[in-house]
Amino acid sequence: MKKMTDFNPENPQPGLYFDMPADQYHKAPGLSKGLLDAFAKTPIKYKRALQGIKKQSREFDIGSATHLLVLEPEKFDSQVVCGPADRRGNKWKEAKENNPDKIVLTESEYEMVQDMRDAVFAHPDCQWLLNEGDSEVSCFWNEPITQQLCRCRSDFMRSDGILVDVKTVQENYAGQEEFSKHILNYNYHIQAAMYCDGFSRITNQKYESFIFIVVEKVQDCCPELVAVHHIEPMSFEIGKIEYMEKLQAFKRHFDLKDGDRWDGYPRGVQETGLPDWYIKRYEKVVAL
């Protein structure tokens, strides 16, 4: 295992960085899963992601605060502020202005995050998963086929070949059926494949098990509203294929010297309707 200490963004070296601040990681060179997702939509989305243009929201704030409290509790008080009762009016505006570099939550959101943390650690499967390992480990590696510098940041790296990721979801979305839709919609299977590839290359240990701890964002959260999902083998293999396809598409774009082209959505009026899978239900009964 190649443990690194000082990170040089001008000359990033492959390895594991255990104490890299989150802001430094997100500004570092290298292709991340999020950047690959953005590029797959349109090159302009990738460019905007590189510039740090992203949508801030209540859900993002709650998720980030929960991550801190579960994975880096020693940093929580210095990075999260309990604000007023709601997100309206001068009190909220002042709280945001007075804490520009911190996560500001309402009183009820702040309490909810505490409940979610308690629910995670009261869940028996989460207890053993988070019992021994390292939180927020940044991994940099050179992908040999495409020659791309890649990076990822594992929520929790165990020493037994398991990577753990903590996800916060809306109420009723932690169950198997609903979370499987999240896996597809947010490319979590690709995340699993990419992270395991990076950690396997750097540690010289086979990482091929990726587990999600999923907790619902609800008041008075309890262990019964926490679920643990392991990416099953077929989904993991599909993730590996799509991960490589995304890398190769990115490489082709710049190899063809299209790096100065930042295409967006197609121009002109597009014929758009229901998804194909839905239309197929009515192909035999609708005549055009």
Q: Which CATH number goes with the domain that contains 189?
A: 3.90.320.10
Q: How confident is the model at residue 11 (pLDDT cuts 50, 70, 90)?
A: confident
pLDDT in tens, 135-159: 999 999 999 988 899 999 999 999 8
- The neighbouring-strand residues paired with 166 are 213
Q: CB 44: neighbour CB atoms within 10 A?
A: 15
pLDDT given for residue 55 in this prediction: 66
269 alpha-carbon distance from chain centroid: 33
- HEC letters along 185-224: HCCHHHHHHHHHHHHHHHHCCCCCEEEEEEEECCCCCCHH
**261 within some domain:** no
Confidence category of residue 259, pLDDT binned at 50, 70, 90: low
In a domain, 48, yes or no: yes
Residue 275 lies in a domain: no
Task: Report the pLDDT value the prediction gives residue 3, as an integer from 0 to 100.
Answer: 66
* pLDDT tens figures, 160-181: 999 999 999 999 999 999 999 9
- The domain in which residue 156 lies consists of 3-255
Q: Please check whether residue 61 lies inside any domain of the structure.
A: yes
Whether residue 288 is predicted with pLDDT greater than 80 in this model: the reply is no
Q: What pLDDT is stored for residue 28 in this prediction?
A: 93
Q: How confident is the model at residue 286 (pLDDT cuts 50, 70, 90)?
A: confident
Check: CB of residue 16 under 8 Å from CB of residue 30.
no
Residue 90 maps to a domain: yes
- Total domains, the chain: 1
> How much is the pLDDT for 260?
66
Look at residue 264 and tell me if it is in a domain. Answer: no
pLDDT higher than threshold 70 for residue 2: no
The answer to whether residue 1 scores a pLDDT higher than 60 is no
For 204-228, the pLDDT digits (tens) are: 899 999 999 999 999 999 999 999 9
> pTM here?
0.90
CA distance 107 to 276: 44
Q: Taking CA 198 as the corner, what is the angle to CA 34 and CA 252, rounded to the nearest 5 degrees?
A: 60
Q: Which amino acid, 123?
A: H
